[in-house]
Structure 1
Amino acid sequence: MTRAKLATTALLFAAMQPVAESAITSAQIIASAVSPSCISWRVSGICYWLFCTPWGCKVRTSVKVTHFIPEAVVSVYAQPGANPWKEMAFVSQTAGGLENGMYGVPAGGVNEELKAQGKRKTNLHFKYADAIGHPATSLIGGSISGYSCESAATPLNPYFLSTLDTLAWRSGTPESLYPEALVPGMREIGSQSTANMWSNVYPRSGFVTQTDDDKAAAVVAQRVADIITRTGQPHVYQTLKGNPSPGYWPPGPVEENTGLKNHKWQRLSPQLSESCAVFPDGNFTPAVDGNEAFALWQPYSCCQRRGQTFLYSTDFGGES
C-alpha cells in the first residue's frame, strides 16, 4: 500500500470514530504542525554543483536550507489501548496482549493501580508507548521543491509499539547491564548539577522512577525516540532514519541535552502546544488519566540539485 493510500485509509477510519474529549485527533495533529516556531526554516548556506555539457563544464550554486520536520507522534499511556491519539488507539490495542500476566505484573502496571487505590505513594511509573509516523510529515517535508527537504518518515507508519516489545519493555534487559544504566551521569535527561535531572535514558523500558507523572511520560517518549532513530537496538521496532545523499543531510540519532540542534518536542496532549522545546522543558500539569502525546521534530538540510556532481557546501557560520 502506498503512503497516500495508507494515510487516506487511516483518516477515513478516523472520521468514523467517536472523539473523546481528552483525546487528540489526526486533524488536530496536522493543524498543529503548521508552527513556524517548530519548523524554524532558514537559509543555512550555499551548495556548489558541477554542471557539464558537450561544450564544457561550469559551477552552479543553489541555496541550502535547514528546517525541522515532524517525524513521529510518540504516545505514552497507562493502560493498553489508551493511546490519546484517538484514531491510532486501535493499533496498539490489536497488536498487544502479550504482556498480560508476565513477570507477575498486570497489564495496567502495579504502581498505577496502587496509586489509584490510594494504598501507598510510589515513585515508580510504568508506561506503554507507541511511535507512529506523523500525519503531516510529508506535508511539511518536501512541500516546496528546492526550499524544503524530504522527510525520512512515513505518515501513520508504526515505528514502535511497546506491546510488541514486551520482553525488553517490561524487563529492561539487556540494557539494565549497560554502562549507560549503571554509571551515574551517563545518558540522563537534564543534570544533577542544575537540579533538573528528570531521569535516566537507560534502560530504555517502560518503568521510570519519577515523582511527577508528566516528567515520567516525557522520559519514556525520549527513550522511544532514542530507540527508533538508531539501528541495531535490542528492541522490536522499525528504524526511522534518513540516508544522506548529495545535497541532502538528514538528522542523526536523537540525543538528550543537545539543545535545539538535534531534535524538538511538541506537546500534543493533554495540552496542545504551538511551540517546541527539548526536555527538560519546565513544569506541566500531568494528564488526569496518565496519557500524553508528543510530536518528535528533527532538523533536515538540503539544496536543489543544479548539476551532475555535488562538489561541496558552505554554511553560514563557517562549517561545510
Structure 2
Amino acid sequence: MTIRTALQLLARRCLLAALVLALACSMAFPARADTITTPMILTKTIAAMPSCLSYQVKGICFFLYCTLKGCTIRTSIRISHYVPDAIVSSYHEPLTHPWLDIGKPLAATMSAVGAAMMGMPVDASSSSAREHREMATFKSVDAIGNPAGMILAALTSGTLPDLPSAFGVPGVGELMKFPYQELPSIQQQWLSVPGTLTNNVLAGAASLAKAPSDILGKIAAIPGYLGKLQSAVGNVGSLMNAGMKLGDLGITVSKLTGVDLGPLQSVMQIAQGASGGGYPLGSLFCPGSASAFTLHFQSDLDSLFWRELIPVEMLYPASWIPTMQEVSKSPALSTWGGRYPRTGKLVQSHPVKASAVYAERVASIITRSAQPHIYAPLSPGGGFKYFSQFSGRRWQMLSPSSTSCIEFGDNDSLSLASFGDFKTSSTDGYVWNLWHNYDCCQRRGIYLFSVP
C-alpha cells in the first residue's frame, strides 16, 4: 500500500469516527423544522465531507532544521483539501434566527449592541415574498466559526476541548486599516473601468472614491462609539448552558482515538523511518481559519455599514457596474445578484437565492483584510506553510434542508425550477456551511521547497 493510499484511507477513518460523535450529539438536541442546533451542524458537516472535502496528498515539503549541533533536512506531507470554516446564517429578526442554541441568543444580544451604536432601535426586516410580489429585500446575517473544528482538535491532540463560555466581539481594527490599505486599491479599480461606461452617475461615484473625505471622516469617528459598544455588550455571557462540555454528552477521548485506524500504523512506521520524526495525525490536515464559535461578522453589530448609514460600500465600482462582481457562473446571464454593495439591501425575489447572495457578501468581507466593516477576518494559525488559502469556495445548505457542497451562480433562467425551489424556510431563515480550499504542509524548520 502506498503512502498516498494509506493517508487517504486514514482520512476516511478519522471522518467516520467524527461522524459517530456527531450522531451521538444530534440525538441529545432535537430541533423543530426550519431550525438547527450545534449537534445537528456537526452531523451535517461531517456527513457532507465525502462530497466537500476533496482530500489530496500533493507531495512532500522540505525544511532546514538547525540546532547547536548542526542542521538537518526534515520533511512533511503536502496536502490539499476543503475545510468547513464558518456557519453563515441569514434571517429577518433575532427571534427567527435558525441556529437555536448559538445564533439566536447571540443575535438578540447583538441587536441591542447595534441599537446602542446607532442611537435608535434596530428594526426587524420583513420576510421575503415570492417572485411577482416583491423585488427588494433586506436581511440580517452573521458568520460564526464552525464547531466541527473541535472534532479534529480531539482527534489530533488526544484531548477533549471545552465549549466556549463566552464570545469575543469583533473590533474596529480592520476598519481602521481601510483608508490606507483598501482605499488605494478601490481608486485603482476605478482607473480600470472602461471609458465607455463613464456617465454622470459613474463619474460622480469615481470622484467620490478619489476624494472620500466625508466618508473617511465618519469612519475616523467610529472609535468614539466604542464606549457605547462596551456598555451595550457588557458580558455576552454563557450561551452554551454555563460551561457545558462535550463530556457531558457522553463523549470521551477514548471514543474518538480508540477507533481502529488501520493503515495509520503502517504510515507512521514508514514516515518514522524516512524522517526520523514521523508524521503525526495533526500534520495530515490543514487547519482552517476559524476557531469553533468565533464571531467573525454580525450585521447588527455592523449596522452603520450594513444598513448604509455610512455608505462606504458605494466607493467600489462593483457597487455601480452590475457585471463586475455577480454571484454567477455566467455574469451576463445572472439571475442571482451582486456581491457588491455588501449591505443588507438586495434586489432578489427568491428567498433562497437572496440568502445565498448575502452569504457570498459576508464571505467576501471576512476573507479579506482592511474591509470597511466591523468584523474579525478569517486567518489561519501558525505551524503550517500555506501555498494557498481561500482559493476555492463551496457552500453546503444546513437548514432548512441539508445538501452536499455546491457553488452558487448556476444560470437557471431557462429552467422550469429556480435554484432553491422546494427548499424554502417558513421563517425565512437559512444556514450555510462555508468551505474553503487550503494547500499546506506542517512547518518543521525553515521552508526550502516542495516536491512536486
The interval holding the TM-score normalised by the smaller chain is 0.7 to 0.9
Give the distance between the partners of 2:331 and 2:98, measured in 1 at CA: 34
Give the distance between the partners of 1:104 and 1:49, measured in 2 at CA: 56
Give the distance between the partners of 1:276 and 1:205, measured in 2 at CA: 25
* 1:279-316 C-alpha deviation (Å, 9 max, x unpaired): 1257113222211000111122222444x32201234x
Alpha-carbon offset, residue 249 of structure 1 = 4.2
Q: 1:86 aligns with which of 74, 87, 100?
A: 100
| Cα 1:84/1:178, change in 2 over 3 Å | same
For the pair 1:156 / 2:293, whether they are aligned, the reply is yes
Give the distance between the partners of 1:211 and 1:152, measured in 2 at CA: 33
* 1:49-99 C-alpha deviation (Å, 9 max, x unpaired): 224567764544332111111111000012233221111210011221445
Structure ID, larger Rg: 2
Give the match's secondary structure for 2:284.
Answer: coil
| Cα 1:246/1:74, change in 2 over 3 Å | closer
Alpha-carbon offset, residue 161 of structure 1 = 0.9
Aligned residues: 287
Counterpart AA for 1:298: H
Give the distance between the partners of 1:134 and 1:242, measured in 2 at CA: 14
| Cα 1:87/1:36, change in 2 over 3 Å | same
**1:244–1:250 contact (8 Å) kept in structure 2:** no
**2:89–2:430 contact (8 Å) kept in structure 1:** yes
More helix by share: 2
Consecutive unaligned residues of structure 1, counting only runs of 5 or more, are 1-13, 253-260, 316-320
The residue that corresponds to 1:290 in the other structure is 428
| Cα 1:203/1:104, change in 2 over 3 Å | farther
Counterpart AA for 1:242: P
| Cα 1:55/1:163, change in 2 over 3 Å | closer
| Cα 1:61/1:134, change in 2 over 3 Å | same
Give the match's secondary structure for 2:356.
Answer: helix
Give the distance between the partners of 1:212 and 1:300, measured in 2 at CA: 32
Q: How does 1:297-312 map to 2 (within 5 A)?
A: 297-306=435-444, 308-312=445-449
Once structures 1 and 2 are overlaid, which stretch shifts more, 191-200 or 215-224? 191-200
Alpha-carbon offset, residue 246 of structure 1 = 5.7
Give the distance between the partners of 1:104 and 1:54, measured in 2 at CA: 63
For the pair 1:268 / 2:377, whether they are aligned, the reply is no
The residue that corresponds to 2:41 in the other structure is 29
**2:53–2:82 contact (8 Å) kept in structure 1:** yes
For the pair 1:65 / 2:79, whether they are aligned, the reply is yes
Alpha-carbon offset, residue 104 of structure 1 = 11
| Cα 1:16/1:173, change in 2 over 3 Å | farther
The residue that corresponds to 1:5 in the other structure is none
For the pair 1:134 / 2:146, whether they are aligned, the reply is yes
The residue that corresponds to 2:370 in the other structure is 232
Q: TM-score, normalised by structure 2?
A: 0.57
**2:111–2:300 contact (8 Å) kept in structure 1:** yes
The residue that corresponds to 1:200 in the other structure is 338
**1:17–1:87 contact (8 Å) kept in structure 2:** no
The residue that corresponds to 2:110 in the other structure is 95
Once structures 1 and 2 are overlaid, which stretch shifts more, 47-56 or 130-139? 47-56
For the pair 1:210 / 2:348, whether they are aligned, the reply is yes
More strand by share: 1
The residue that corresponds to 1:3 in the other structure is none
* 1:171-217 C-alpha deviation (Å, 9 max, x unpaired): 27111232111123111111555624411111101111012111000
Q: How does 1:10-21 map to 2 (within 5 A)?
A: 19-21=31-33
Q: 1:41 aligns with which of 55, 65, 68?
A: 55
Higher normalized contact order (CA 8 Å, seq sep 6+, divided by chain length): 2
Counterpart AA for 1:125: T
For the pair 1:278 / 2:407, whether they are aligned, the reply is yes
Give the aligned CA root-mean-square deviation in angstroms.
Answer: 3.2
Alpha-carbon offset, residue 106 of structure 1 = 7.4
Q: TM-score, normalised by structure 1?
A: 0.79
| Cα 1:64/1:27, change in 2 over 3 Å | same
